[in-house]
Structures are given as structure tokens and as C-alpha cells.
């Protein structure tokens, strides 16, 4: 951030009085611009023993596969956000089920929330952000072509747990890989 979104003045990066962390502060209008993590919400749409994945038509990870998910919008609930993303990316209608996973990704300031969901019908097709939308059985999942680590981990666990017939909620943290 360079300019104040309130008055257009140059902002400074410093710790406000009584605070513990540096923030963008506008010396002209005295606005403190707090920045907080973003929520990414999505779901695993299920149809019998298969799940629906979308092949991304946008960067990052163009051409790779992921579950329907995206940034939560203001004024919506988590369930509404997950359903909206599924409709936008896959033109698919779902009934949202249980909360399945929450992943913290501190190094990119995101929290990912993933539900299980039941596809209501097979009338789905790629939305504008998808190249393709398909149902995959466990043996067909393109593991090496998944777009994000935060999708890989819950999907692995999902199929393991489904074999045992016991799907439970998990919370995890995706750490930065340092090379």
C-alpha cells in the first residue's frame, strides 16, 4: 500500500501508539489501514463415489485441477460463498454438507475453509474461470496436476477416510516451503 484509500495521501509504515505491529498509517487523515487474512471457501462436490474438480482457466496454476473455491465476498456466509463459487466455476448446484477442513496458510495470509457437498444433478459445465469440469473416482484423481497443496492434503485424507467410512473435521496449517 502506497496511498491512503481514504484521502489519497502517502501512507507511512509504522507501529501505531498502543499497538504491537506495524500498520499503514495516513499522516494526513490519521486513518490506520488494518490488513487481515482473507478467507477462501470451497467444497468437495460428491456424486456417488466420485467428486467434481475444475481445471483452472486462470492464473495462478492455469490448467491444473482444484475443487470449486474462491475468496469469500462481503455480506455472505461461508456456505453461501462455497455454493456461489461452485456455481460460478462449475455451473453446478450443490447441497452443502458438513464442514470438512480448515487450513491456515500464514505465509500468504489466508484461511481456507472446505465443506463436503452433494451435487444435486449432473447438469454442470465449465464456468468462465474453468477450462473443464469433471467427476473423478479416487483412482482417476490427477494427483500430480492438482493446483494447490491446500487441496492435495484434504483430498488425500478424504479418500483415506472414506474407505474407513468415517469422515471427520480437521484443521491444519500449510507451512511455507523454503528452498
10 is a contact residue toward Zn ion (CB under 5 A): no
Q: Which residue number, 33 or 107, has a Cβ lying nearer to Zn ion?
A: 33
Torsion sign across C-alpha atoms 19, 25, 30, 34: negative
> Considering the complex, what minimum distance in angstroms separates the CB of residue 14 from Zn ion?
14
Q: Which residue number, 26 or 151, has a Cβ lying nearer to Zn ion?
A: 26
4 is a contact residue toward Zn ion (CB under 5 A): yes
Given the rule CB under 5 A, which of 8-16, 50-58, 140-148, 157-165 is the region that contacts Zn ion? Answer: 8-16
25 is a contact residue toward Zn ion (CB under 5 A): no
Closest CA to 133 of 85, 173, 98: 85
29 is a contact residue toward Zn ion (CB under 5 A): yes
CA–CA distance, 139 with 33 (Å, rounded to integer): 48
Torsion sign across C-alpha atoms 99, 151, 137, 135: positive
7 is a contact residue toward Zn ion (CB under 5 A): yes
> Considering the complex, what minimum distance in angstroms separates the CB of residue 8 from Zn ion?
7
> Considering the complex, what minimum distance in angstroms separates the CB of residue 12 from Zn ion?
11
Q: DSSP string spanning 113-137? A: EEEEEEE--S-----TTEEEEEEE-
Closest CA to 116 of 74, 76, 159: 159
Among 1, 6, 33, 145, the residue binding Zn ion under the rule CB under 5 A is 6
Amino acid at each position: 500500500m502506497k496511498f491512503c484509500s481514504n484521502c489519497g495521501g502517502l501512507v507511512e509504515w509504522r507501529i501505531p501508539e498502543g499497538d504491537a505491529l506495524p500498520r499503514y498509517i495516513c499522516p494526513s487523515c490519521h486513518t490506520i489501514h488494518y490488513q487481515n487474512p482473507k478467507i477462501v471457501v470451497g467444497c468437495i462436490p460428491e456424486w456417488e463415489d466420485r467428486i467434481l474438480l475444475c481445471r483452472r482457466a486462470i492464473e495462478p496454476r492455469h490448467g491444473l485441477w482444484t475443487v470449486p473455491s474462491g475468496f469469500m465476498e462481503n455480506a455472505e456466509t461461508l456456505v453461501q460463498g462455497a455454493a456461489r463459487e461452485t456455481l460460478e466455476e462449475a455451473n453446478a448446484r450443490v447441497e452443502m454438507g458438513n464442514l470438512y477442513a480448515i487450513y491456515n496458510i500464514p505465509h500468504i495470509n489466508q484461511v481456507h475453509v472446505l465443506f463436503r457437498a452433494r451435487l444435486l444433478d449432473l447438469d454442470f459445465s465449465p464456468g468462465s474461470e474453468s477450462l473443464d469440469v469433471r467427476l473423478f473416482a479416487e483412482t482417476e484423481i490427477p494427483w500430480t496436476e492438482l493446483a494447490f497443496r491446500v487441496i492435495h492434503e484434504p483430498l488425500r485424507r478424504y479418500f483415506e477416510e472414506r474407505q474407513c467410512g468415517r469422515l471427520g473435521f480437521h484443521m491444519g496449517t500449510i507451512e511455507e516451503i523454503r528452498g
